[in-house]
Amino acid sequence: MKDTELLIWDEAISALDLVTERKVQQELDLLRKTRTIIVIAHRLSTIQDADRIFILRKGTIIESGTHDELLSNESEYYSLVKNEVEPAFAS
């Protein structure tokens, strides 16, 4: 897998706990320096560091940009981030 120029991850880490997801995300961050990676995800923490984020509705791209660009638009992506609920952990 590491020798390919293109990786496609379709909800590849959606069933992982947050600790394991972070470990996989760190490896993904290293790989993206030398590979093209397409990540399909519902969990926004998985994509927030992407070079380009595409928001789709019914198969049509309705927004694209970086995390910061999309947040500044206060549109669909902004609403998704604002309404995403992260699991709570007791300390």
Question: What tens digit of pLDDT does each residue of 8-43 get?
Answer: 888 877 788 888 888 888 888 888 888 888 888 877
d(CA 9, CA 28) in angstroms, rounded, equals: 10
| Residue 73: both structure tokens together | 């638009």
For the chain, the domains span 6-83
SS3 of the chain: CCCCCEEEEECCCCCCCHHHHHHHHHHHHHHCCCCEEEEECCCHHHCCCCCCEEEEECCEEEEEECHHHHHHHCCHHHHHHHHCCCCCCCC
- The confidence band for 72, taking pLDDT boundaries of 50, 70 and 90, is very high
To the question of domain 6-83 being in CATH 3.40.50.300, the answer is: yes
